[in-house]
């Protein structure tokens, strides 16, 4: 289904799928006299919750993204994320703000499967991109959120788009996002293609700093009147850029050393295609024992690859490797570390 936000006549359209009905319900909610919108969090770092957001602040967020990507009236966009969450809702709000032509596609692992036209703007999860590599060259501006973009996925993106650039003049730009429900989607973008940046660049009118732990603090008055304190360890550069190091609540304390699983995972993902997660399991002598969970069937070849990896420190190597058929994820595609840790802990008893 295509919605023209330059001339939106929703009463003349008939939703055919459950997802289209949800989109229409949100549009009606947006057009109502209520100043607030209800949003559900993903629950990736805790219990899912529902809270209310001012429509005006959502519009402010939409302006920031559209301006950063230079989106214009009449450009096309593709919605393929659940509208229960801020990520899907904001695609609709950006369409309202910039008068976009919005294509509605059922959220799935292969949202571009039936796409045969060029699209100016789309937001997807890493898993969706992983399963849409043969079609991402149709997207001019692609933002990837919900989880970090792995090194292996970056390689696949480069390989695919390099091949496509030889037969097409259509140029894609791909960004990784940083944000949360409280910041109304993302507040910073990091280019993945055609350039590869280490640092996220924050939008205008947003101030960033760190607390005594080294965790990011965000002040974005147009999005949230409160000073937002995160548990994300970062390194700030030039006042408006930062490098994500890892979540402080994911830090593993093993033998008096602090280990950042996200950084260790990035090292492993440069060499193997499987989803991997580093965890700290309770250990009497070490406090926490560093283990590596790999999604997929047990493989001596993968074990050998990991054994030969050059980590920065010798104690960065996992003490044990565990294979699991499927790593649990939240509904919007994030690895659910809490559930995975519970599963692995149970297997130890």
**Which has the closest alpha carbon to 133: 111, 118, 100, 166?**
111
Cis peptide before 36 (omega within 30 of 0): no
85 Cα distance to chain centroid? 12
Find out whether 79 and 92 touch, Cβ atoms under 8 Å.
Answer: yes
**Which has the closest alpha carbon to 236: 264, 219, 214?**
214
Residue 133 is predicted with a pLDDT of: 94
What is the rounded CA–CA span in Å between residue 214 and residue 216? 7
pLDDT tens-digit map of 102-113 = 999 999 999 999
Residue 231 is predicted with a pLDDT of: 92
| SS3 of residue 199 by DSSP | coil
What is the rounded CA–CA span in Å between residue 175 and residue 168? 20
The Cβ of residue 206 has, within 10 Å, a number of other Cβ atoms equal to: 17
CATH of the domain at 177: 3.40.50.12780
CATH of the domain at 312: 3.30.300.30
Residue 105 is predicted with a pLDDT of: 94
pLDDT tens-digit map of 132-181 = 999 999 999 999 998 888 888 898 998 888 777 655 566 899 999 998 87
The Cβ of residue 89 has, within 10 Å, a number of other Cβ atoms equal to: 27
Look up residue 111 and give its DSSP letter: T
Residue 187 sits in the same domain as residue 327? no
Q: Using 50, 70 and 90 to split pLDDT, how confident is the model at 61?
A: very high
Alpha helix (H) residue ranges in the chain: 18-31, 55-69, 86-98, 126-130, 151-165, 261-269, 300-307, 337-347
pLDDT tens-digit map of 249-262 = 888 888 878 888 98
| SS3 of residue 182 by DSSP | helix
What is the rounded CA–CA span in Å between residue 29 and residue 252? 43
Residue 218 is predicted with a pLDDT of: 96
Single residue among 247, 273, 293 that ends a domain in this structure: 247
Residue 34 sits in the same domain as residue 98? yes
Residue 293 sits in the same domain as residue 224? no
What is the rounded CA–CA span in Å between residue 281 and residue 289? 5
**Domain total in the chain:** 2
Domain range holding 304?
A: 251-347
């Amino acid at each position: 289904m295509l919605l023209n936000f330059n001339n939106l006549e929703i009463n003349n359209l008939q939703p055919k799928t459950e997802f289209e009905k949800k989109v229409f319900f949100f549009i009606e909610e947006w057009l109502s006299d209520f100043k607030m919108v209800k949003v559900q969090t993903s629950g990736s770092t805790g219990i899912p919750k529902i809270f209310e957001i001012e429509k005006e602040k959502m519009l402010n967020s939409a302006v920031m993204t559209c301006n950063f990507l230079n989106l214009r009236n009449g450009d096309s966009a593709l919605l393929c994320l659940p509208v229960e969450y801020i990520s899907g809702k904001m695609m609709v709000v950006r369409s309202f703000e910039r008068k976009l032509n919005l294509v509605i596609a059922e959220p799935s692992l292969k949202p571009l499967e039936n796409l045969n036209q060029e699209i100016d703007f789309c937001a997807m999860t890493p898993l969706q991109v992983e399963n849409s590599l043969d079609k991402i060259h149709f997207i001019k501006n692609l933002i990837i959120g919900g989880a970090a973009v792995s090194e292996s996925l970056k390689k696949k993106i480069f390989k695919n788009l390099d091949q496509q650039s030889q037969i097409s003049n259509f140029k894609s730009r791909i960004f990784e996002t940083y944000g949360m429900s409280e910041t109304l989607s993302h507040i910073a973008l990091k280019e993945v293609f055609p350039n590869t940046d280490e640092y996220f660049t924050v939008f205008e009118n947003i101030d960033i700093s760190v607390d005594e732990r080294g965790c990011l603090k965000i002040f974005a008055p147009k999005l949230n009147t409160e000073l937002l304190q995160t548990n994300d360890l970062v390194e700030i550069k030039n006042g408006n850029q930062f490098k994500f190091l890892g979540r402080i609540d994911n830090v593993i304390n093993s033998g008096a050393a602090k280990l950042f699983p996200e950084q260790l995972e990035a090292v492993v993902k440069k060499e193997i295609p499987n989803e991997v997660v580093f965890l700290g399991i309770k250990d009497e002598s070490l406090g926490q024992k560093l283990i590596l969970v790999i999604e997929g069937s047990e493989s001596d070849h993968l074990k050998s690859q990991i054994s030969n990896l050059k980590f920065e420190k010798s104690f960065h190597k996992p003490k044990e490797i565990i294979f699991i058929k499927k790593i649990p994820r939240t509904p919007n595609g994030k690895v659910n570390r809490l559930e995975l840790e519970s599963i692995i802990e149970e297997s130890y008893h």
